[in-house]
Amino acid sequence: MNFAVIGYPISHSLSPIMHHANFKALGRDDEYCALSIDPKHFHHIKDIIDEKALDGFNVTIPFKIDIMNYCDEIDTTAQMIGAVNTVLIKNNKWFGYNTDGLGYLLSMQDYLRDDMNVLILGAGGASRAISYTLMQNHRVTVANRSLERIQSWPFEIECLTYDRLDNLSRYDLVINTTPVGMTGYDEPSIIRCHNLNKSCVVSDIIYTPEKTAFLKEAKLQDLKIINGLGMFVMQGAKSFEIWTGDVADVEAMTLAVQTALKGRNQC
């Protein structure tokens, strides 16, 4: 079978390495390539994909919203999230899904209990996917610089601006979905980790760098920290399952991504 990821820019994507590791581990001879699509040519996406005779593809920045206009059907979760990151092609029809939220949930299985108090920092696409998924079983609060974005979501969720954040000790899980704390962002982390409960799990959806400034600060407070590598792997594993109906080899995928990241860091 033939798969791809479309995006712009896309050359640094680890998806081809990750998916090939899975194909190899399962003894499959599928292909997965990275397709760079200039946004100026995105309106030709049907022809571009048809020409490649793909069975499915992943969608990344900046096309996760625009691709929805080209799907014949979009599942309910992707509609609520307002973005598609996985397209299944069957009988020439495009079926849109979003595996980001489920990928996050599965990557956190060891740390989630029912009914947790969850604080999500940021209100972009990743935040919406994680918020919608986690709110099915947990009490989720979303914090952002402004509330407009959150108020346009098609589901109701508790939200507040950063300056209204108090009583941080009530949260069991804090997730950073903003770029603050990445290399190059000089601003201090949005919340101060010493105000968190000692049992709070601190998660950042970024995985390059391996530890953002936010995670380093949490680590200094002896809190459990988790970066976004697991989410990346699990969203890919779920895409593979949508395309093939087979269970992905998550261990092989994780190892491939970790090895590729180590190689990059040595360059």
Of 17, 168, 179, 241, which lies in the binding site for ligand ATR, with binding defined by CB under 6 A?
179
In whole angstroms, the minimum distance from the beta carbon of 69 to ligand ATR comes to 18
Q: Is residue 209 involved in binding ligand ATR (CB under 6 A)? A: no
Helix/strand/coil for 186: coil
Q: Is residue 203 involved in binding ligand ATR (CB under 6 A)? A: no
Of 99, 178, 239, 254, which lies in the binding site for ligand ATR, with binding defined by CB under 6 A?
178
Helix/strand/coil for 39: helix
Q: Which of residues 217-236 bind ligand ATR (CB under 6 A)?
A: none
- Output 54 or 173, the one with its CB closest to ligand ATR: 173
Q: Which of 24, 46, 52, 64 is catalytic?
A: 64
Q: Is residue 180 involved in binding ligand ATR (CB under 6 A)? A: yes
- Output 20 or 64, the one with its CB closest to ligand ATR: 64
Cα 16 to Cα 34: distance, rounded to the nearest angstrom: 7
Burial class (CB in 10 A: 0-12, 13-18, 19+), 166: exposed
- Output 64 or 238, the one with its CB closest to ligand ATR: 64
Q: Is residue 151 involved in binding ligand ATR (CB under 6 A)? A: no
In whole angstroms, the minimum distance from the beta carbon of 150 to ligand ATR comes to 9
Read off the amino acid at residue 92: N
Q: Contact 35/86 with Cβ under 8 angstroms?
A: no
Helix (H) or strand (E) holding 260: helix 250-266
- Output 121 or 250, the one with its CB closest to ligand ATR: 121
Crossing angle for the helix pair 125-134 and 100-107, nearest 10 degrees?
A: 60
Q: Contact 137/114 with Cβ under 8 angstroms?
A: yes
Q: Is residue 125 involved in binding ligand ATR (CB under 6 A)? A: yes
Rounded to the nearest 10°, the torsion over CA 45, 50, 54, 58 is 10
| Residue 64 among the catalytic residues | yes
Q: Which residues are near ligand ATR by CB under 6 A?
A: 122-127, 144-146, 149, 177-180, 187
Residues belonging to the active site: 64
